[in-house]
Chain A
Amino acid sequence: MRYKAILAALLFMMALPAMAASWQPTNKYSIRFSSNDASGIFKTFSSTLVFDEQNLGTSKFTATVEVASINTGNGLQNKHAKGAEWFDATTYPQIRFVSDKIVKAGSGYQATGTLEMHGVKKQVTIPFTFQRKGNAGTFAGSFSVNRNDYHIGKAGNKVEEVIRIDISVPVVQK
């Protein structure tokens, strides 16, 4: 009986380093996209964020953005963006990112994983920072995507092909 208790305690202690902290996004998040021709936000976002600065091997991000929640600040542009020529929100209602690995990069980190948008999956690397304040913190990252890679909009039309994405996700520890 005593040996079983010691074994259970040892197993628990061995498992401890593998358990990275889980973070819950607050509703103050912001997912912005911008280029010289088009800019806006996605209002609906959900995610599972498992992240520990000391244990990046077990850290993992899964994020989903609802395409229909796009807001460019103009009703006609919103309708156009959700339409078949652009995001085709009816057929592809979500943009999804699932990380494969998270590594330290300079003063920040890099999450490499699969970004699925408009039915196309591509490997991307998202540089980000994490600023911890006690049991809360903020993930912030910026990266660019080429809309042609995801067959969004017509190639060569007047909207720039490279779109910058800025993400800021304040979180609290679960």
Chain B
Amino acid sequence: MLRKILLHGFTAGVLAALASLVYQQIYFKSLGADFSTVISTTGIIATCVGATLLASLGYFLVQRLLKSRAPAVFNLLLLLLSFASIVGPFAIKLPLELEAPELFPGLTVPMHFFPALAWLALSPLFYPMQVPAEKRA
């Protein structure tokens, strides 16, 4: 089961990284704000995959503790943590040579939700809904 959960986390991380990189390009092309010296491609991939692998371990633990209620509790927890993490982009002090630091949260705040979105989007593929036998009939 852990292997399946970790695979879910890894796939979600890759998907989130891909979404983040596409968003970074769109942001740069539309606003001209280049923060690539602060958030590099490698950094984005590592952060997304790292976050979702960590989420996998969290899900594994929650599942062991709460059994059938695990998905609901975990999804709520994932949402809360993603929301709490947006404090970071608002509080960060960027290198002074970077222009327009006020545009930084606009780039990174959505990225903070991509791992959770990817995790939730891929969940049905990894854990198909169990329909009780009486309802199948």
Is this pair of chains taken from one and the same complex?
Answer: yes
What is the total number of residues of chain B having a CB less than 8 Å from a CB of chain A? 14
> Hey, what's the 0/1 contact readout for B97-111 against A, CB within 8 Å counting as 1?
010111111000000
| CB-defined contacts of A75 to chain B, threshold 8 Å | 100-105
A-facing residues in B92-135 (Cβ within 8 Å): 92-96, 98, 100-105
Determine which of B90, B96, B105 lies in contact with A73 in the assembled complex, contact meaning CB atoms within 8 Å: B96
Residue in chain B with minimal CB distance to A79 = B102
The yes or no answer to B31 lying at the interface (CB within 8 A) is no
Q: Say whether chain A's binding surface is mostly helix, strand, loop, or mixed.
A: mixed
Report the number of A-B residue pairs with Cβ-Cβ less than 8 Å. Answer: 31
Q: Indicate if the CB atoms of B102 and A73 lie closer than 8 Å.
A: no
Q: How large is the interface on A (under 10, 10 to 19, 20 to 34, 35 or more residues)?
A: 10 to 19
Q: Indicate if the CB atoms of A74 and B94 lie closer than 8 Å.
A: yes
Give the distance in Å from the alpha carbon of A73 to the alpha carbon of B95 in the complex. Answer: 6
Give the distance in Å from the alpha carbon of A74 to the alpha carbon of B95 in the complex. Answer: 9
| CB-defined contacts of A41 to chain B, threshold 8 Å | 96
| CB-defined contacts of B90 to chain A, threshold 8 Å | 76
The yes or no answer to A58 lying at the interface (CB within 8 A) is no
> Hey, what's the 0/1 contact readout for A70-114 against B, CB within 8 Å counting as 1?
011111111100000000000000000000000000000000000
Q: Indicate if the CB atoms of A74 and B96 lie closer than 8 Å.
A: no
| CB-defined contacts of A73 to chain B, threshold 8 Å | 93-96, 98, 101
Q: Indicate if the CB atoms of A76 and B94 lie closer than 8 Å.
A: no
Residues of A within 8 A of B (CB): 32, 40-41, 71-79
User: Which are the 7 A-B pairs with shortest beta-carbon distances?
Assistant: A75-B102, A73-B93, A73-B94, A75-B101, A41-B96, A74-B93, A73-B96
